[in-house]
C-alpha cells in the first residue's frame, strides 16, 4: 500500500499494518508447552479511506471486520500498527478521545442493543452532543431535533423509548445519534443486517442522502455483497484477519481477482433466475482458526490455484490493475 508519509493524500483515515491480537488466558497446566497464544483477529491491515467517499469492508464471519472497526474507533485499541485520523496519529501519545469522537462516530449492528432501554430517544440522541460538545440545553435540543428530522423522525418519536419503536426506527435513532455531533467520519457496522428488505432500502437511501447533505465519509462493515456494491466507492475484502483485495467496488465486483473474492462474489444471491451463479460455485474447507492460522497465504488450503509458494510466503498486496490491489501470488492467472 502506498502512503509511507504522514501526508494523507486526501484520506481522512489511514491504518498502517494494524494488528489486534487477543491473548488467550493460560490455564494452570505447567506442561502446556509454554508460549503465549493469541487470537489473531486483525493481522496486518492497511487501508486508506478517502474523504467524502464510502469504503465497504466486506467479509464473512471471523474475517476481523468488526474488530477492525472497533480498533479504528479505539474502543478496542490495536495491539500494533498506526491509525492516522484527520491528519493526527491517534495511536501515539496521549489520546484526546473527545476530540476524536467529535469527528468520528459509529452506528452499530443490532438496533435492539444500540439504545439504552431506559432513555427516551431525545436523551439518547443528545448524549454525544452533551458529552462531546458541552453546549447548553437549548443548543443541544435544536441539534437533537435537526438530527431526528434528518433521519425522518418527528418530535413525537423523540419522546418514545426504544421498546416503542420498530427495528427500522431504532436504527434511524442510532444514525441520528451518530450524526448529531456533526462528525466527519461515520463507521457503520452492518447497519441493515437486522432489518427487512423494505426497511433496509429506506435506510440505505437515507444514508446516501445524509452523506450528500452533511459531507460525510462512510466506512461500512458488511457481509452483504449487494449492499456493499450499492453503497460503496471502494471495497476492501477481508479474509481471516487480512485484506485480500482492495479497489474500486465496481471493478472488483465485475472482475474479482483474488480466488476468495471470486468465490464470494459468485456466491452472492442476485434476484435473477436466469443467472444462477450460486449453484456453480464450489468452495472446500472451512474458515481457518484465528489462533493457528495456515502458514503463508491463509487461504491456501482452500484455494484452487494454490502452489507450494502459497504455503510458504504471505503474498503482498500488489496492484494488479489500476487502483485494484490483490494479495495473491497468482492473481494474473485468476483473471
Partner 1 sequence: MLSSSESDEDLTSSNPSSAITSDRVRATLSSIRSNKGALMGATIVAIFAITAIVVFIAGVLHVQVTPYNPLKQDVGPTLAPPSIHFLMGTDNLGRDVFSRIITATPNDFSVSLVVIGFSLLVGSLIGTYAAFNGGLLDEALMRVTDIFFAIPALVLAMSIGIALGPGITNMTIALMIIWWPPYARLARGEALKIAHQNYIEAARLSGAGRSRIILGHALPNITITLLVYASLDVGTVILVYAGLSYLGLAVRPPYPDWGEMVSSYQDFMLSSPWLPFFPGLVIALGVVGFSLLGDGLRDALQGS
Partner 2 sequence: METSNNANQLLVISDLSIVYQSKKQSLLALDKTTIEIEKNTFVAIVGESGCGKSTLALSIIGLLAIPPAKIASGSINYKSVNLVELKENQRRQYRGTEIAMIFQEPLTSLNPVYKVGDQIAEAIVVREERQGGKEIDAGVQVMQKTYRTNSPDFPSRLPRFRRGALAKVLREETLDALKRVRIADPEQVIDRYPFELSGGMRQRVMIAMALAKKPALLIADEPTTALDVTTQAQVLKLMKVLMDEVNTSILLITHDLAVASQVADRVVVMYAGDIVEDAQVFDMFAEPMHPYSKGLLSCIPTGSKDKSKLTPIPGSVPNLSEEQIGCKYASRCPNVMNICTTKRPRLLEVKPKHRVACFLYGE
161 in contact with partner 1 (CB under 8 A): yes
Q: Which does 9 bind (CB under 5 to 8 A by kind): partner 2, partner 1, none?
A: none
279 in contact with partner 2 (CB under 8 A): yes
For residues 36-54, b (16+ Cβ closer than 10 Å) or e, as one string?
Answer: eebebbbbbbbbbbbeebb
- The Cα–Cα gap between 98 and 259 comes to 42
292 in contact with partner 2 (CB under 8 A): no
The residue (of 198 and 292) whose beta carbon lies closer to partner 1 is: 198
- The Cα–Cα gap between 287 and 298 comes to 9
Among 46, 88, 123, 267, binds partner 2 (CB under 8 A): 267
User: Which range binds partner 1 by CB under 8 A, 30-38, 99-107, 215-223, 277-285?
Assistant: 99-107
> DSSP character for 160?
-
- In Å, how far are 39, 46, 280, 289, 295 from 292, measured between CA atoms? 8, 22, 31, 5, 9
The three cell numbers of residue 34 are 509454554
- The Cα–Cα gap between 303 and 126 comes to 49
- The Cα–Cα gap between 242 and 230 comes to 23
User: Which range binds partner 2 by CB under 8 A, 31-39, 87-95, 200-208, 316-324?
Assistant: 200-208
281 in contact with partner 1 (CB under 8 A): no
109 in contact with partner 1 (CB under 8 A): yes
Q: Which does 311 bind (CB under 5 to 8 A by kind): partner 1, partner 2, none?
A: none
Among 166, 215, 295, 313, binds partner 2 (CB under 8 A): 166
Residues numbered 296-335 forming contacts with partner 2, rule: CB under 8 A = none
Residues numbered 125-154 forming contacts with partner 1, rule: CB under 8 A = 127-128, 130-132, 149-154
Amino acid at each position: 500500500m502506498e502512503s509511507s508519509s504522514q501526508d494523507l493524500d486526501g484520506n481522512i483515515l489511514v491504518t498502517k499494518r494494524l494488528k489486534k491480537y487477543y491473548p488467550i488466558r493460560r490455564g494452570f497446566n505447567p506442561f502446556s508447552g509454554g508460549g503465549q497464544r493469541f487470537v489473531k483477529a486483525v493481522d496486518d491491515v492497511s487501508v486508506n479511506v478517502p474523504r467524502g467517499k464510502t469504503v465497504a469492508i466486506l467479509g464473512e464471519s471471523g474475517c476481523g471486520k468488526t474488530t477492525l472497526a472497533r480498533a479504528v474507533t479505539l474502543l478496542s485499541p490495536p495491539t500494533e500498527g498506526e491509525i492516522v485520523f484527520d491528519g493526527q496519529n491517534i495511536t501515539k501519545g496521549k489520546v484526546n478521545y473527545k476530540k476524536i469522537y467529535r469527528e468520528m462516530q459509529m452506528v452499530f449492528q443490532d438496533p435492539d442493543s444500540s439504545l439504552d432501554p431506559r432513555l427516551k430517544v431525545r436523551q439518547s440522541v443528545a448524549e454525544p452532543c452533551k458529552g462531546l460538545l458541552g453546549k447548553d440545553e437549548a443548543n443541544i435540543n435544536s441539534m437533537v431535533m435537526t438530527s431526528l428530522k434528518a433521519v425522518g423522525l418527528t418530535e413525537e418519536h423523540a419522546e418514545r423509548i426504544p421498546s416503542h419503536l420498530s427495528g427500522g426506527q431504532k436504527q434511524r435513532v442510532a444514525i441520528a445519534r451518530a450524526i448529531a455531533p456533526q462528525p466527519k467520519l461515520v463507521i457503520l457496522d452492518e447497519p441493515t443486517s437486522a432489518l427487512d428488505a423494505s426497511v433496509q432500502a429506506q435506510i440505505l437511501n437515507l444514508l446516501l442522502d445524509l452523506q450528500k447533505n452533511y459531507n460525510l465519509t462512510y466506512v461500512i462493515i458488511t457481509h452483504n455483497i449487494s449492499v456493499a456494491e450499492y453503497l460503496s466507492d471502494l471495497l476492501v475484502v477481508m479474509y481471516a484477519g487480512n485484506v485480500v483485495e482492495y479497489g474500486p467496488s465496481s471493478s472488483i465486483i465485475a472482475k474479482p481477482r483474488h480466488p476468495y473474492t471470486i468465490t464470494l462474489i459468485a456466491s452472492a444471491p442476485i434476484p435473477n433466475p436466469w443467472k444462477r451463479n450460486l449453484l456453480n460455485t464450489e468452495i472446500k474447507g472451512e474458515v481457518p482458526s484465528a489462533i493457528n492460522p495456515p502458514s503463508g497465504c491463509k487461504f491456501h488450503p482452500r484455494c484452487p490455484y494454490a502452489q507450494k509458494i502459497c504455503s510458504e510466503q504471505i503474498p503482498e498486496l500488489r496492484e494488479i490493475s489500476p487502483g485494484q490491489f490483490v494479495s495473491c501470488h497468482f492473481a494474473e492467472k485468476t483473471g
